[in-house]
């Protein structure tokens, strides 16, 4: 693309560094900001700067937080003996949206992935193991994505907990509620048959 | 969505005000910035602020420019008697990319659209008519999108130029080069037959 303005070119370049934003989309977004009142751009840039400078991670669960201890960890209503291990803060938000979980979380910050140069040291596994050794935790729920990296990470943590009196579980995989069996992939359908649950148990969930 | 951080919520809100960016995408973009080094965010916010504060419109063609007169208008190699009327700076970039045009441009900044509250006063039509009356222009090429609003705008400008010795033309509409006839819409195919050109003329274009 041939820009008539260096300032514009620079703004489009920076915008196109965001994931999933190509040059054309970046140009559209930047031109949109130019058409809007000045305050729009100012609002966006201020919000991003404030976030980048002011953001903290909860010292207990590593969730994003404005204070040292996040709302969930600070709450007296949550079950502190139950920890759900997730990859990312988006997973915390997704599970919180279900209103079905009353324990705490532990945000790993990613999965072990040698291909991308992410080892256990890059994640918050150390602090999770330390928490586990303090004796406060009764159950650890693995809720990582079911990929090779997710499984590896689960297993790595599982090995680190050997000898401790902690139950481990993973979230159930199966056919989504409302989905048709004929369109499900075989692996998922297979697992949902292997891991079937008593019919009386399924009634309680609703 | 339930955010654990006000700073995060605010950044996601501002990001989701951009066109085509929903809440989920905004969250993904903001979390991406958080994972990147500080400089990434700083680069983006600085580029946007600089653009918003430093941007100028070329006083002749209203194209975005860093200086008073844009490169195209300042160039001595362009044909100043030929003006291509476009909606937006993206159209200028698109036409420049073809390397087939050697005249100047006039960026209207939009189309007349009573539905969206855009009248002739909101556009740069006044300055175009003034330019036309100065006697410098021999031909005006309308290159607006072929919608109701585009046609209205073309016609409005055409009426303003009545009595002046200026040729007006519109860019050719037809089947795109390389496209199959059977998949073309009828209006386009119909126009491309009505507005057929001499075969010898079509040879020159290549």
In this prediction, residue A178 carries a pLDDT of 83
Partners of A48 on chain B (C-beta within 8 Å) are 11, 14-15, 30, 33, 41, 44-45
Does this complex have an ipTM over 0.85? no
In this prediction, residue B206 carries a pLDDT of 52
- pLDDT single digits (tens) A37-85: 889 999 999 999 999 988 888 999 999 988 889 989 999 999 999 999 9
Do residues B50 and B78 both lie within one domain? no
Q: Is the pLDDT of residue A203 over 80?
A: no
Do residues A125 and A86 both lie within one domain? yes
Partner A contacted by B37 (CB < 8 A)? no
In this prediction, residue B3 carries a pLDDT of 80
Counted domains in chain A: 2
Buried b (16+ CB within 10 A) or exposed e, B147-158: eebbbbbbeebe
Do residues A159 and A97 both lie within one domain? yes
In this prediction, residue B204 carries a pLDDT of 65
Percent of chain B whose predicted confidence (pLDDT) is above 70: 97
CA atoms of B37 and B31, how far apart (whole Å):
12
- pLDDT single digits (tens) A80-113: 999 999 998 999 999 998 888 999 999 999 999 9
Q: Is residue B88 domain-resident?
A: yes
CA atoms of A85 and A157, how far apart (whole Å):
10
Q: Is the pLDDT of residue A25 over 70?
A: yes
Q: Which residue has the tokens 């491309």?
A: B192
Q: Which residue has the tokens 């970046």?
A: A26
In this prediction, residue A87 carries a pLDDT of 93
Instruction: Quote the minimal CA–CA distance from A7 to chain B in Å.
Output: 5
Partner A contacted by B179 (CB < 8 A)? no
Partner B contacted by A124 (CB < 8 A)? no
Give the residue from chain B lying closest to A4, CA to CA.
B65
Indicate the burial class of B76 (C-beta count within 10 angstroms; 0-12, 13-18, 19 or more): exposed
> Which tokens in the block code for residue B109?
């900044």
Do residues B29 and B71 both lie within one domain? no
In this prediction, residue B5 carries a pLDDT of 87
Do residues B76 and B11 both lie within one domain? no
Residues in chain B predicted with pLDDT less than 50, given as ranges, are none
Q: Which of B4, B3, B105, B111 is nearest to B62 (CA)?
A: B105
Strand duo B79-86 + B64-65: pairing: unpaired
In this prediction, residue B87 carries a pLDDT of 93
What CATH number is associated with residue B10? 1.10.8.420
What CATH number is associated with residue B156? 3.40.1360.10
Q: What Rg do the C-alpha atoms of chain A give, in angstroms?
A: 22
CA atoms of B108 and B174, how far apart (whole Å):
24
Count the residues in chain A: 206
Q: Which of A162, A166, A146 is nearest to A154 (CA)?
A: A146
Based on DSSP, count helices (H) and strands (E) in chain B, helices before strands: 9, 6
CA atoms of B102 and B84, how far apart (whole Å):
10
Indicate the burial class of A146 (C-beta count within 10 angstroms; 0-12, 13-18, 19 or more): middle
Residues 50-89 of A with CB under 8 A from B: 50-52, 54-55, 58, 63-66, 70-72, 88-89
Which residues does B162 contact at the CB level (< 8 Å), separation at least 6?
Answer: none
Q: Is residue B130 domain-resident?
A: yes
Q: Is the pLDDT of residue A20 over 80?
A: yes
Q: Which domain holds residue A18?
A: 6-54
Q: Is residue B189 domain-resident?
A: no
B68 vs A204, residue with greater confidence: B68
Contact B90 A31 (CB under 8 A): yes
Do residues B68 and B148 both lie within one domain? yes
CA distances, B185 to each of B163, B175, B181, B194 (Å) = 37, 9, 9, 15
């Amino acid at each position: 693309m041939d820009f008539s303005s260096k300032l514009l070119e620079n703004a489009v370049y920076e915008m196109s560094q965001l994931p999933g934003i190509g040059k054309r989309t970046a140009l559209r977004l930047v031109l949109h900001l130019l058409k809007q009142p000045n305050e729009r751009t100012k609002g966006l840039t201020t919000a991003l700067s404030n976030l980048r400078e002011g953001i903290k991670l909860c010292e207990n669960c590593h969730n994003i937080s404005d204070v040292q201890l996040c709302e969930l960890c600070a709450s007296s209503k949550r079950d502190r003996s139950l920890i759900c291990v997730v990859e990312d803060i988006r997973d915390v938000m997704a599970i919180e949206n279900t209103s079905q979980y009353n324990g705490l979380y532990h945000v790993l910050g990613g999965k072990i992935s040698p291909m991308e140069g992410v080892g256990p040291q890059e994640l918050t596994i150390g602090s999770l193991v330390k928490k586990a050794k303090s004796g406060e935790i009764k159950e650890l729920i693995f809720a990582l994505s079911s990929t090779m990296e997710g499984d590896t990470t689960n297993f790595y943590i599982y090995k680190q907990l050997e000898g401790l009196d902690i139950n481990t579980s993973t979230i159930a995989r199966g056919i989504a509620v409302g989905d048709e069996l004929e369109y499900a992939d075989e692996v998922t359908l297979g697992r949902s048959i292997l891991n079937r649950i008593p019919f009386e148990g399924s009634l309680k969930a609703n």
